[in-house]
Chains A and B, each alone.
Chain A
């Protein structure tokens, strides 16, 4: 232990500066404020430039991690961003929201004896540096192929497909149901974790490369997949995400003051309701807020509620801290901001007043039994442990399922028993000729980077199809 600690102090990881917890808990500005050039280069110097880099194997899109870090440490910022772009169309996003601790950084050799290289922070630095100081020069594009591609959904997987195929010379149009592109990056992930200006910048980068973006187009309603093919699109990619909120199906769930995390976060992020009444969309401001669930979405909702002025925010989860699916960093940030974890607790009933407004919930204490199908220990109710939890706003963040809006209108696409699209794991091909799918609509709710990985695989397969045939 002593030896390890000594090595740590000799070569410590450069910490990312952050806003003070008490200050940031009441504003919507980004929590980490970013490296300076000096900090980034010091951190880059910690990379061992391994011949067989394990970190790259941990990256779902195979970013050339030692390569971009080497260019950065040499001061070649343009080279570094070019290197990143060659594998990742959204480095500013990934640098901020990827679960690095379980991917690239989790496999970093430096991390075996100390703290791993801050790969995510460095990726973010390169993207931010390019945005603020870059030349605006675009990566090279192949000659036009004359093939047209429709991408349905402008979330991380759709943007990846669009970015990959436009540089391969295809004509790409993205269709987005909302009035702004970005998918979960704009409606789901809060401003303080991923500023909307950064998403807009990443989308704008694709537009400068020639990608067309059609907002307000609800594919399945405004236009169908078959119509897109009939209208001259040679291939279609479906990346519509998992946009069907799950509720707990307990009594009183439709009381005023109970919202899905999707609704709460959409109001707060996409509609900017935290600026209400400067903007027109209102959002309920609870004094005593309860968030159900313990994933990243739950953390985002809890931290948003705190920023909207809640006096008390509790995250209620039926298992223990060990089973919480959220990133450790997000849980840590939330706790620093004053959010309380109410673990081994399961709500059984909502209670309202005569106006149908939420006033509280009844909960049961739980204990953990044997692991269930998910591999997590199964929570078991402790008999007679009912207690009352006062709350005037409850945000339900217990997961989301496949939205059937598009698939119900597209009978040629086979679904699995959960309503997700049955697509080839290796290349994203669906059962409908010329149509690919990837991201949460195939896998169920997952991470930004996994959706991007699926987009990358599908883009390669689509390129083969467009140039060689199905």
Chain B
């Protein structure tokens, strides 16, 4: 069992942080890599990119939004409980290089994935502007940490309850207009990454995105996480999860992410009905 040593609720309880004892993974993991978690015997294997690792303490941190049955089960795990299985680190690590001016764009729980990458980009000497967004102020996560991890932090909310009133892309455009941006890293919902990539293409700025397709084993065996990159099929688990944002077929990715939509909703609703009844 992989014990949970810290648990926090973020974004009005819709986003959960778990710090988990996994010494071998903590020792090996690099920014951008992910783990696969399985709560119990009947559980599904869920891939999540690590938000942080502490090699000395032997822990890893994951942050996830509660969306389906499996994440609802994850949410119900308390400190002292554990995940039956944690597998990793999987995927390729982010290529961290000193390029100059960088924009890191994060949306939703993507901010958690973006955090270690932003920190690493800053540590190596890049000038990092970070733009994070959420639907409203209550749903915004990790503002303080992102402030520490970057040189300049901009915040947006869709409803204007905090920071810039509008989308991350609007703020990103302003920064791009300032010129000299060498790299954009965008991690968040697929429509956000698609919108960011469309804009940066016009500005001819290299853009890196982190994809989260449906996956089973995470080691290149099942091929469920197929994504089309520049017309070629890649497996996000071993070839990614990060790819050139200008080459990703986002529409296909969105369709594939909906493959089990009906089953997932039914399963989640059933689980919550049973849980709430108890």
Majority-rule SS of A interface residues:
loop
Interface centre among A179, A243, A249, A403 (most CB of B within 10 A): A179
* Interface 0/1 of A376-411, CB less than 8 Å to B: 000000000000000000000000000111000000
Bound-complex Cα distance A277 to B233 (A):
31
B-side interface residues, number (CB < 8 Å): 43
* Residues 54-102 of B at the A interface (beta carbon under 8 Å): 69-70, 73, 84-90
- When C-beta atoms are compared, the residue in chain B nearest to A258 turns out to be B226
Partner of B263, one of A221, A245, A282: A282
Contact indicator B69/A222 (Cβ below 8 Å): no
Partner of B223, one of A260, A272, A355, A357: A260
* Residues 245-270 of B at the A interface (beta carbon under 8 Å): 251-252, 255-256, 258-260, 263-264, 266-267, 270
Partner of A247, one of B70, B233, B252, B263: B233
Contact indicator B222/A245 (Cβ below 8 Å): yes
* Residues 243-302 of A at the B interface (beta carbon under 8 Å): 243-245, 247, 249, 253-254, 256-257, 259-260, 262-263, 266-267, 271-272, 276-282, 284
Bound-complex Cα distance A41 to B238 (A):
52
Shortest distance between the CB of A277 and any CB in chain B (Å): 5
Contact indicator A222/B221 (Cβ below 8 Å): no
Contact indicator B219/A355 (Cβ below 8 Å): no
A/B pair count, beta carbons within 8 Å: 117
Q: Does A432 touch B at the CB level, under 8 Å? A: no
A276 contacts across to B, CB distance below 8 A: 263, 267
Q: Does B144 touch A at the CB level, under 8 Å? A: no
Q: Does A177 touch B at the CB level, under 8 Å? A: yes
Q: Does B42 touch A at the CB level, under 8 Å? A: yes
Shortest distance between the CB of B216 and any CB in chain A (Å): 5
Q: Does B166 touch A at the CB level, under 8 Å? A: no
Contact indicator A266/B222 (Cβ below 8 Å): yes
Shortest distance between the CB of A430 and any CB in chain B (Å): 20
Shortest distance between the CB of B254 and any CB in chain A (Å): 8
Contact indicator B267/A277 (Cβ below 8 Å): yes
B89 contacts across to A, CB distance below 8 A: 221-222
B73 contacts across to A, CB distance below 8 A: 280
Q: Does A85 touch B at the CB level, under 8 Å? A: no
Contact indicator B220/A244 (Cβ below 8 Å): yes
- When C-beta atoms are compared, the residue in chain B nearest to A255 turns out to be B255
Bound-complex Cα distance A284 to B226 (A):
16
Contact indicator B219/A223 (Cβ below 8 Å): no
Q: Does B275 touch A at the CB level, under 8 Å? A: no
- When C-beta atoms are compared, the residue in chain A nearest to B264 turns out to be A282
* Interface 0/1 of A176-219, CB less than 8 Å to B: 01110000000000000000000000000000000000011110
Q: Does A325 touch B at the CB level, under 8 Å? A: no
Bound-complex Cα distance A405 to B238 (A):
7
Contact indicator A222/B217 (Cβ below 8 Å): no
Residue numbers of A with Cβ under 8 A of B are 177-179, 215-218, 221-223, 243-245, 247, 249, 253-254, 256-257, 259-260, 262-263, 266-267, 271-272, 276-282, 284, 355-357, 403-405
17 more contacts with CB within 8 A, not counting A247-B233, A254-B256, A280-B43, are: A178-B217, A218-B219, A221-B28, A222-B88, A223-B24, A243-B220, A254-B226, A256-B256, A262-B221, A262-B222, A266-B222, A271-B216, A276-B263, A282-B267, A355-B255, A404-B220, A405-B238
The 5 closest A-B pairs by CB, nearest first: A356-B255, A263-B222, A280-B44, A243-B221, A260-B223
22 A-B Cβ contacts within 8 A? A177-B217, A179-B38, A216-B85, A216-B86, A218-B90, A218-B219, A221-B89, A222-B87, A222-B89, A253-B226, A253-B233, A254-B233, A256-B256, A256-B259, A263-B216, A263-B222, A279-B44, A280-B267, A281-B44, A356-B252, A403-B219, A405-B238
